[in-house]
Chain A
Amino acid sequence: MKNLKKIFILLLSLAMVFSLAACSGGSDEGGADDNGGTPDSGTSDDGNTPDDGSGENEGTSGADSHLVSTEFVTQSGANQDGQVDNVVIAMSSTSVNVGPFAPNSPGSVGKSALYGKLFFQPYSGAPIEECIPWLASGYEQIDEVTYRVTLYDYITDSKGNQITADDVIWSGQTSLEIGQFVDYGAGVESVEKEDDYTLVFHMTNTAPNLFASIVCNGNFCIVDQEWYEGASDEERSTDPATTSSYTVAEFVSGSRAVLEARDDYWQTDDALNEGILPAYQNVKTVTYTAITEASMRVIALQNGEVDISPISSTDLGNFYDTATGENLDGWTVLRPAPTYVQAIFPNMSDQSIVGQNLDLRKAIFHALDAEAIMMAAGESTATSILLNAFGNPLYQGYQTVWDEGDYWEYDPALASEYLASAGFEPGEVTVRLLTSSGLYSDSVRSVIISQLNAVGINVENISVEQALFSTYKNDKTVWDLMMDLKGSATGHIANLYSYNFDAANYAEGQDGVNFWNDQGVYDLIDKVNDDPSDANIQEFEQYLRDNAAIMGLYGNSVINVAQDGVTEFGYNGMLEPAACVYADDYVSAGD
């Protein structure tokens, strides 16, 4: 028995030594010594970031971007002399896909570097006047909803096919039909070909930025119809004919894709490439490698196995000192301007106790501390901003006046008063909180639940995985409160309003994102879309507040980290590896 005890002690000691040996020093080594590599752009999205379905165009820096810390990046990148041989970019999904009609997801790599669009948006949500012609040589607005677009007549793909107006029309329609470009169906009435290099777009409405959001959209990948229809599935997904500045050199399903700069890129006039980040070729080959686990991406960075990687906000401390606001030695951190809107939605239908009681909704909103929820999500002022309205300060149309007043001030006493006036004693009412376990941690749910409990509102926690969440949130009988994130496809706040509250965008009887069937809000949507003036936007926001129909919490975005030889990120709302700037002596992780 004594021997057995000794053996146990010995084994446990060995296990502890092994664990400590494995765990020690992990954060100090790695990257700093091994960097030298050059990061190239890379991965676009982290797995837990919101996807508004708009591809590259969500969010945007608008007229009022001064409200965001100047340290946040909205656009950057440059064309540099010389090429770095190779950079390795981590991505969070194993569904690696280089096809033109793959969904915009973390696994869909280098879509902008592979497939040209008609115009390039220098920052998310830029109006068409600021967009740079790419495959298009220019445009002309004929009337409020009609635009004539001309194409260069010398566009060829990587297999030598000529791109014409027919290919553009076919590409947009195919992307729509295949289910990857729903905005195209909603925003484009029709497209006509005037001649081989001229098209006329008829838009469905006059919503602000609509035309730009279509012709610059990341899902509007233009390819040659004849090639696509003649290619096998394998060729489409591993060796596509590309119209942008890179082509696919190697593809390993589920693991990596290597993009190689095209020597025969059709646009040889540097002046016409100026500002189009995906047309830059600062790197000869870009390797996208799948690393699904967030912690493993951090390790890969620290170990010098990748040059650039998206990280979660909770890992930021490994690379960035939030107290001083400086990168830690060995790292360059891209903190993009937060483009998403995290919000609490009350179920406004007659199926919910919350929807039937305005004072109860007010009690809930005053009981919630947005800052505490933001911190619980692992965010900080280095990565996020607190919202003062249902909208992001980056969006065009955002009203600075909102930042001067109170917005659902955290006030438990006032919340208790509203609860009483709602007709409930503390502990008498229970609300069902729906959240996605993939998007939000238990800490976020715990904070919300404890804050509501503190004022006497019981909470039934419905935390489900993302797929189920997508289903439940469209079911008015399942939840009373929902936390979700939203974005604006056009970068204009009017778009945020339309997509969330216009019944036309939802199932019959659903009436908006939170089942709010209200003629007042429908009229205001029309009003804002027809005339997105300050007065109309403020009126809409005020209506939301008067009805306690939604509570904006905080805005955030995806953070990327690079080895410190990356001196500047190529970024326009998406990370562009080919437009990052690298130190002269940069040694890539791939070398």
Chain B
Amino acid sequence: MLRFIGRRLLQMIPILLVVAVIIFTLMELVPGDPVRIMLGDFATEAQVEEERERLGLNRPFLERFWEFIKGAVQLDFGVSYITKTSVSDELIERFPRTLKLALLSICVSALFGIPIGILCAIKANKLPDRIALVLTLLCNSMPSFWLALLLVLLFSVNLNWLPSGGIGGAQYYVLPVISSSIGSIAGIARQTRASMLEVIRADYVTTAKSKGLSQKAVILKHALGNALIPIITVIGGQFSFLMGGTTIVESVYSFPGLGLYIISGINNRDYPIVRGGVLYIAFTFSFIMLLIDIIYAFVDPRIRSQYSGKKKKKSKEAEAAA
């Protein structure tokens, strides 16, 4: 297992390098001059040139790219052109907020999504299943900004129960978490239903039932465990997405997370923010995918045996050769 994790971590290096090349090149190609945005309309061309020189934007592409890579290795993504603050510091400061929001959202999504999915599978094609299917379809179809605004109007303006935005205590997370979770709940519920339906029809579940096990035991012990892999995949995907920053939700609730930061960087052509932000997302995504693979191994003994199987196989081959 450790070798697998090590190998996967090593694989992340070329992935991040490719992402770095792509984002660096793309930002070069995107029209829009950060210096003009920074200095405003009334800066003379001489002043613009001077600022470009100061920021190093006049240097050759490869030279700048190398500087960027050297900095990134040391987790130094430079200083924002606009705010003049360290991008790394800003990412580090915003990361816990986004992590908290993402974790809460994914927990809420799983807590509601999985039971709903199981219920749908057990009651397949019956009234509860149909209601749940329609509800999940509705949830999936609702634009998050629209839902977010409705929640604000209801809970913040009309009922005055919750703040309409910003960050602070737990109450500031309630509406963003609900807004981020609704779509995920639907996705997880539908995936759980589909996976459970496949498993429920399997022979070993029928056998378990015929042995007289209670439905609860059959579902939770025999069916759910075997249906978890695709569910974990969906949860992992949703979590990665949330960790990248839920820009719309962050924007509506003025939640100072990573998504809003990266978007402001894109709008201002603030290259250091965009590069640092995208690399962060790539790393987070890769890391979460690794975690998911590890979780697979814990959930499914067959996968676990694959990780250790190669080692055993090699040692057997070595023994045979000897």
A: which residues have CB within 8 A of B?
A: 3-4, 7-8, 11, 15, 18-19, 21-26, 29-30, 51-54, 93-95, 97, 99, 101-103, 105, 107, 177-179, 182-183, 185-186, 233-234, 237, 252-256, 289-293, 295-296, 299-300, 302-303, 305, 465-468, 470-472, 474, 484, 486, 489, 499, 504-508, 510, 513
B43 touches A29 (CB 8 A): no
Closest-CB distance, A145 to chain B (whole angstroms): 19
B32 touches A302 (CB 8 A): no
* Distance in angstroms between the alpha carbons of A23 and B89 in the assembled complex: 40
| Complex contacts, A293 vs chain B, CB 8 Å | 251-252, 254
A506 touches B45 (CB 8 A): yes
Is the C-beta of B37 less than 8 angstroms from some C-beta in chain A?
Answer: yes
* Distance in angstroms between the alpha carbons of A296 and B151 in the assembled complex: 12
Other 20 A-B pairs with CB < 8 A, given A103-B82, A292-B254:
A52-B41, A53-B42, A53-B43, A94-B254, A95-B83, A105-B82, A182-B42, A234-B89, A237-B85, A289-B166, A295-B149, A296-B252, A300-B164, A467-B268, A468-B32, A471-B31, A486-B41, A489-B42, A504-B44, A505-B42
**Of B37, B90, B153, B261, the contact of A466 (CB 8 Å cutoff):** B37
Could you name 24 residue pairs across A and B whose Cβ atoms are closer than 8 Å?
A8-B134, A22-B158, A25-B158, A52-B42, A53-B39, A53-B43, A97-B83, A99-B84, A182-B40, A182-B47, A254-B90, A255-B167, A255-B256, A256-B166, A290-B166, A290-B256, A296-B164, A299-B152, A299-B157, A467-B267, A470-B37, A471-B33, A505-B44, A507-B48
Is the C-beta of B190 less than 8 angstroms from some C-beta in chain A?
Answer: no
Question: With contacts A22-B151, A291-B165, A302-B157 known, is A53 near B264, CB below 8 A?
Answer: no
B164 touches A305 (CB 8 A): yes
Q: Which of B45, B86, B150 has the most CB of A within 10 A?
A: B45
Total interface residues on B, CB under 8 Å, equals: 62
Please, which residue of chain A has its CB at the minimum distance from the CB of B253? A296
| Complex contacts, B43 vs chain A, CB 8 Å | 53, 182
* Distance in angstroms between the alpha carbons of A15 and B147 in the assembled complex: 11
Is the C-beta of B38 less than 8 angstroms from some C-beta in chain A?
Answer: yes
**Of A21, A94, A103, A185, the contact of B260 (CB 8 Å cutoff):** A94
Is the C-beta of B22 less than 8 angstroms from some C-beta in chain A?
Answer: no
A11 touches B165 (CB 8 A): no
B157 touches A255 (CB 8 A): no
* Distance in angstroms between the alpha carbons of A292 and B153 in the assembled complex: 17
* Distance in angstroms between the alpha carbons of A125 and B303 in the assembled complex: 73
* Distance in angstroms between the alpha carbons of A15 and B146 in the assembled complex: 12
Please, which residue of chain A has its CB at the minimum distance from the CB of B51? A179
B: which residues have CB within 8 A of A?
A: 31-45, 47-48, 51, 54, 79, 82-86, 89-90, 93-94, 127, 130-131, 134-135, 138, 149-154, 156-158, 160, 163-167, 251-254, 256-257, 260-261, 264, 267-269
**Of A21, A237, A291, the contact of B158 (CB 8 Å cutoff):** A21
Closest-CB distance, B247 to chain A (whole angstroms): 11
Please, which residue of chain B has its CB at the minimum distance from the CB of A54? B42
Closest-CB distance, B267 to chain A (whole angstroms): 6
B164 touches A4 (CB 8 A): no
Q: Which of A22, A105, A508 has the most CB of B within 10 A?
A: A22
Closest-CB distance, A93 to chain B (whole angstroms): 8
* Distance in angstroms between the alpha carbons of A29 and B164 in the assembled complex: 14
| Complex contacts, B268 vs chain A, CB 8 Å | 467
Question: With contacts A52-B42, A233-B89, A292-B251 known, is A179 near B54, CB below 8 A?
Answer: yes
A23 touches B254 (CB 8 A): no
Please, which residue of chain A has its CB at the minimum distance from the CB of B45? A507
Query: What 8 pairs across the A-B complex have the smallest Cβ distances?
Result: A254-B256, A53-B40, A467-B32, A22-B154, A507-B45, A22-B153, A22-B150, A255-B256
**Of A53, A303, A484, the contact of B160 (CB 8 Å cutoff):** A303
A470 touches B89 (CB 8 A): no
| Complex contacts, A489 vs chain B, CB 8 Å | 42
**Of A7, A252, A474, A504, the contact of B134 (CB 8 Å cutoff):** A7
| Complex contacts, A103 vs chain B, CB 8 Å | 38, 82-83
| Complex contacts, A26 vs chain B, CB 8 Å | 153, 157-158
B94 touches A254 (CB 8 A): yes
Q: Which of A468, A484, A486, A510 has the most CB of B within 10 A?
A: A468
Closest-CB distance, B140 to chain A (whole angstroms): 13
* Distance in angstroms between the alpha carbons of A52 and B253 in the assembled complex: 29
B152 touches A179 (CB 8 A): no
* Distance in angstroms between the alpha carbons of A18 and B166 in the assembled complex: 24
* Distance in angstroms between the alpha carbons of A256 and B252 in the assembled complex: 16
Please, which residue of chain B has its CB at the minimum distance from the CB of A495? B42
Closest-CB distance, A432 to chain B (whole angstroms): 16
| Complex contacts, B35 vs chain A, CB 8 Å | 179
A95 touches B82 (CB 8 A): yes
B254 touches A291 (CB 8 A): yes
| Complex contacts, A299 vs chain B, CB 8 Å | 152-153, 156-157, 164
